[in-house]
Amino acid sequence: MLLKGGAMQKSVLVLIVFIFTSTASIAGEVRFIANQSVPEFVISKEDVSEIFLGIRVQWSDKTKIKFVLNGDETSHNALMKKYIKKSPSQFKYYWRNMLYTGKGAVPKTFDSVDDLIKYVQSTEGAISYIDSTVKADNVKMISVK
Amino acid sequence: MKKKIFLIITIVLINSPMNALAEEDEVDIHGFISQGYLWSDRYNFYNAETEDGTFQFNDLGVNFTTQLSDNLRAGMQLYARDLGDVGNDEINVDWAYGDYRFSNLIGVRVGRIKRSYGLFNQIRDVDLGRTVIFLPEGMYFETLRDQFLSVKGAGIYGTLPCRVEYQILYGETPASNSSGAASFLETIGVHLIDVSTEPTYTFHMLWRPMNSLSAGGSTFNFKSTVETSLGAIEFNGENYQVFLQYFYDNLMVATEYQWGDAALLFPATPALKRVAKPVGYSGMVTYRFADWFEGGLTYSEYYIDKNDKDGKKALANAEVKDKKERWLKDLSFSTRFDINDFWILKLEAHRTDGLFSVVDYGGRKKPGAISHLVAVKMSYVF
């Protein structure tokens, strides 16, 4: 059945709205957790971006930064939007490019926030991010100025 | 035999997860396989029979990397491609190097290192990391990409406190008889016997004044001597690029500009010497409409000699058969479908003005300027 002009325009409009909104998600607040060995207490927004893009590789005491990603979509989107300034897909491209040019390994993503916290607790130099409502013990809370 | 081993390695490793943190002493293995199709309404592009439609458009890569210590990393990628007469699925080492990072400020790489120039040269072989199939021809000449892809030598890199990333390389550009340059020479009736290259430099800087904006510049030179059936040809020159890239949510905008000097010298017949001042520029806009769909629009222009953009001088000097060989103006529309994390389908349409990238225009005495090319590429990544 053919749609009349008006109905067709509405359908196209609905389709466009659907496509544009399908990538949108509600961004929550995140806070940064690090292993107790990490010397920093406060880092800048630029530091966050450089750490998660693999540009900054060492803490101030020259130990290696080991960052991991949170598989929770809301937390990850919040990190991208507020600090990295890339969409999740652009971030994925970035790390795939690093991988296939030999410049870095794709950072590990933890689907379970408990596993993520355990990794940060037990790994020297580790840093990650969690939803601000999630409780985490035996880790260092890093403030972002 | 080498191809079979490569294929077996690929199949065995194909289920390796993408999301893997390379722990110390563990070898992280990834790769990609792609098959494409090219069709043009007139002329043959990229040394391939595109006018008849061709499947000779595929590539395959497998890389191995390991973190040997906190600061030391090593890895290599095997790569094979076929683009018409170029590559012919011959397996090459794409990159292979040791990388020691002393600090945020400085690291050292030794081996075969990908050359940074412009925004995208490092990811020329990484189809999965971008929207478009072909990078803008005005900046990245597809047929000759193996001439500029990597350097065998050493380099330093790092990040300066003012958010400037840099890379400095010194070394030779490996070349083979199945390279794009060799295929190009064959099409004009010259058989390549050997290629020797001299060490060259590459400088690349990228400034990130804010997280969403990058600006930079790069330069490199090239020096090679090609032994051919008609005698030796020396190919020398240098190239400069400036570029800008901006991200806003799902939008990416990039623009690049290049210029330089190039000379072809014929030691046996110096009078045949050819010099040119090439210039090219491009603009690219991509937008991710949904998790599974992205679109892009790219425009680029390239002129072999900025002082002879219309090709009249070259035609008068009998350097070309048609003055349209001296320029390229390409407009392309690209779509990318991420079927899932492993499968990617890309469709791309080009409208090309000029014959610069047309190796063979089929004996037409008065070739038209405008042609169209359609490219389809399906990739599997792991």
Model pLDDT for residues B313-348, shown as the tens digit of each residue: 988 888 888 888 889 999 999 999 999 989 999 999
Quick one: pLDDT band at residue B183, thresholds 50, 70, 90? low
Contact assessment for residue B290 and residue A23, using Cβ atoms and an 8 Å cutoff: yes
Give the mean pLDDT of chain B: 87
Q: Please name the residues in contact with B235: beta carbons below 8 A apart, sequence gap of 6 or more.
A: B222, B223, B224, B225, B226, B262, B263, B264, B265
Contact assessment for residue B130 and residue A93, using Cβ atoms and an 8 Å cutoff: yes
Helix %, strand %, coil % of chain A (to 5): 40, 20, 40
Parallel/antiparallel/unpaired status of strands A30-34 and A126-131: antiparallel
Enter the tokens of residue B8: 């077996």
Q: Taking the CA atoms of B41, B46, B50 and B53 in sequence, report the sign of the dihedral they define.
A: negative
Listed range (B122-131, B169-178, B239-248) with the worst mean pLDDT: B169-178
Residue B94 has pLDDT above 70, yes or no: yes
What is the distance between the alpha carbons of residues A41 and A52, in angstroms, rounded to a whole number? 17
Question: Taking CB atoms and an 8 Å limit, are B30 and A100 in contact across chains?
Answer: yes
Quick one: pLDDT band at residue B150, thresholds 50, 70, 90? confident
Q: Quick one: average pLDDT of A95-107? A: 86
Percent of chain B with pLDDT over 70: 88
Q: What is the C-alpha radius of gyration for chain A, rounded to an integer number of angstroms?
A: 19
Parallel/antiparallel/unpaired status of strands A126-131 and A66-67: parallel
Percent of chain A with pLDDT over 70: 81
What is the distance between the alpha carbons of residues B244 and B192, in angstroms, rounded to a whole number? 38
| Per-position b or e across B351-362, b if 16+ CB within 10 A of its CB | ebbbbbbbbbbe
Q: Which CATH class is domain A27-144?
A: alpha beta
Could you tell me if A86 lies within 8 Å of chain B, comparing CB atoms?
Answer: yes
pLDDT (0 to 100) of residue B14: 45
Percent of chain B with pLDDT over 90: 52
What is the distance between the alpha carbons of residues A116 and A135, in angstroms, rounded to a whole number? 12
Contact assessment for residue A126 and residue A120, using Cβ atoms and an 8 Å cutoff: yes
pLDDT (0 to 100) of residue B242: 98
pLDDT (0 to 100) of residue B142: 81
What is the distance between the alpha carbons of residues B69 and B98, in angstroms, rounded to a whole number? 12
Please compute, for residue A33, the number of CA atoms within 13 A of its CA located in the half-sphere on the CB side.
25
Mutation for A interface: B211, B247, B286, most A CBs within 10 A: B211
Q: Quick one: average pLDDT of B10-35? A: 64
Question: Taking CB atoms and an 8 Å limit, are B61 and A100 in contact across chains?
Answer: yes
pLDDT (0 to 100) of residue B10: 46
Q: Quick one: average pLDDT of A42-66? A: 93
Which domains are assigned to chain B? 2-381 (2.40.160.10)
Quick one: pLDDT band at residue A67, thresholds 50, 70, 90? very high
Burial of B365 (0-12, 13-18, 19+ CB in 10 A): exposed
What is the distance between the alpha carbons of residues B75 and B350, in angstroms, rounded to a whole number? 36
Choose the closest CB to A101 out of B20, B122, B130. B122
Could you tell me if A58 lies within 8 Å of chain B, comparing CB atoms?
Answer: yes
Higher-confidence position of A25 and B146: B146
pLDDT (0 to 100) of residue A93: 84
Q: Quick one: average pLDDT of B142-146? A: 77
B193-213 pLDDT, tens digit per residue, is 787 888 999 999 999 998 889
What is the distance between the alpha carbons of residues B26 and B16, in angstroms, rounded to a whole number? 13
Q: How many angstroms away from the CA of B169 is the closest CA of chain A?
A: 15
Choose the closest CB to B288 out of A23, A55, A68. A23
Q: Quick one: average pLDDT of B103-122? A: 93
Q: Residue A85 carries which side chain, given as an amino acid letter?
A: K
Parallel/antiparallel/unpaired status of strands B370-381 and B343-353: antiparallel
pLDDT (0 to 100) of residue B18: 47
**Which residue ranges make up each domain of chain A?**
27-144
Q: Residue B231 carries which side chain, given as an amino acid letter?
A: G
pLDDT (0 to 100) of residue B197: 82
What is the distance between the alpha carbons of residues B124 and B146, in angstroms, rounded to a whole number? 10
Listed range (A11-15, A40-44, A47-51, B63-67) with the worst mean pLDDT: A11-15
Q: Please name the residues in contact with B165: beta carbons below 8 A apart, sequence gap of 6 or more.
A: A55, B157, B158, B159, B205, B206, B207, B208
